[in-house]
Every structure is written in structure tokens, then in C-alpha cells.
Amino acid sequence: MDREREFERQRHEMVDRQIARRGVQSPAVLNAMRAVPRHYFVPEYARDEAYADAPLPIGYDQTISQPYIVALMSELLGVGAGDRVLEIGTGSGYQTAILAEMGCEVFTIEIVRELARRAQDTLERLGYRNVHVFEGDGYGGLPEEAPFDGIILTAAPDHIPNALTDQLKVGKRLVLPLGRYEQDLYVIEKRSDGLDQRRVIPVRFVPMTGRAEFPP
């Protein structure tokens, strides 16, 4: 069996054992997780671990998230084909690719220039044309492209940035890890009369850097 076929086998096994069995049910999410080749989003030396049930380092003190967490956050976001999604923290580009595979138009911001460029190269090489990669600080969102049908953060602030909820459509969701030391995954739904917050599970993400470290 060649290496690509072996990776495909591992990918399907990952979805069956790590994701579906833990309760992720969205067909769009499961199909995307089966389709996106995670091994292209990790460094060459880590490719044999690409489908393990764990985060992996990608350089610059950043990680690619555990597959289950990527799937869970994608499902919690509640988006689908044609929706416009803002992602803060492109990282490797893997979460970006999952959302793009689901048919979303993804606007993604990465503060580390080298990671932004590497992710863009990978996404282009894999043929994702519904992705727009920006280099910069995502704390203020992307007001020129707002409003969004969903916003997802892959780094943890210790508070909810107001600019992000301002750029979210009413009835839509922001999914983010929240907390500086002890972190939890939250779903924030924007309503006409305010924000509804729901805690999901404890998580561990890299901290959000830039302006998030010095809120007003």
C-alpha cells in the first residue's frame, strides 16, 4: 500500500474512532474530516502522527489542534455551504480547509507571517479557492467583510472581543476557547437582545496574542 492510500485509511479510521464515536454527528463535518488530508498541514517530520488523537507542533510556538476538537468546533459553529465564516488564527490552515470543504467561504487571519504564508501555499496547492488568507492581528476582526455567518477562534483570549460579536449576524454563532490559564470552549450566540453564552468542555489552546493581550 502506498503512503497516500495508507494516510487515507488512517484518516477514515480517525473519523470513525476519534470523532463519530464521541458524538459528532454532522454529515458535512464528518465528510470534510474524511476528505481533508491532515498530513499536508503538519511538518514532514510529524506526518506519521498526522491522524493521531492529539495536537501537533507546527513551529513558532503554535500547534495544529486535536482532530476531535476541530470537528467539534466545526459542528458547534452551525455553518454550511455558502456561509461566510471568519477564522481568527489560521495556524496550519487545517481548520480553514475543513470549513472550506464544507462549502463555506472562509476569511482567515494569522498573526504569524510565516504561518500565514505557509497555510496559504498549502490551501492553494490543495485547490481551495473559497479561502482568503490575511496576515495580521485578528482581534479587531475583518470589518470590511462583515457581517459573518460564523466566527471561530483557534487561539484563546481571556475575554470576548467586542469587535467580533459586532461582526456576527444575529442568530449566528461565535465559537472560541476562553481563558488565560484555565480554558473552556464556549459557544456565543448573537441574539437581537444580547449574547447567549454556553460552556461546552474544558480545552487547552495557545493564547491569543497581539491586541488581545492588552484589551482597552
**Using H for helix, E for strand and C for coil, what is the string for the chain?**
CCHHHHHHHHHHHHHHHHHHHHCCCCHHHHHHHHHCCHHHHCCHHHHHHCCCCCCEEEECCEEECCHHHHHHHHHHHCCCCCCEEEEECCCCCHHHHHHHHCCCEEEEEECCHHHHHHHHHHHHHCCCCCEEEEECCHHHCCHHHCCEEEEEECCECCCCCHHHHHCEEEEEEEEEEECCCCEEEEEEEEECCEEEEEEEEEECCCECCHHHHCCC
How do residues 11-48 score in pLDDT, each as one tens digit?
A: 999 999 999 999 999 999 999 999 999 999 999 999 99
Name the band, by pLDDT with cuts 50, 70 and 90, for residue 61: confident
pTM of the model: 0.95
CATH code reported for the domain at 3-213: 3.40.50.150
Q: Is 65 a catalytic residue?
A: yes
Q: Determine the average pLDDT of the residues in 113-128.
A: 97
Residue of 65, 74, 92, 192 marked active site: 65
pLDDT for 48 equals 93
1 pLDDT exceeds 60? no
pLDDT for 35 equals 97
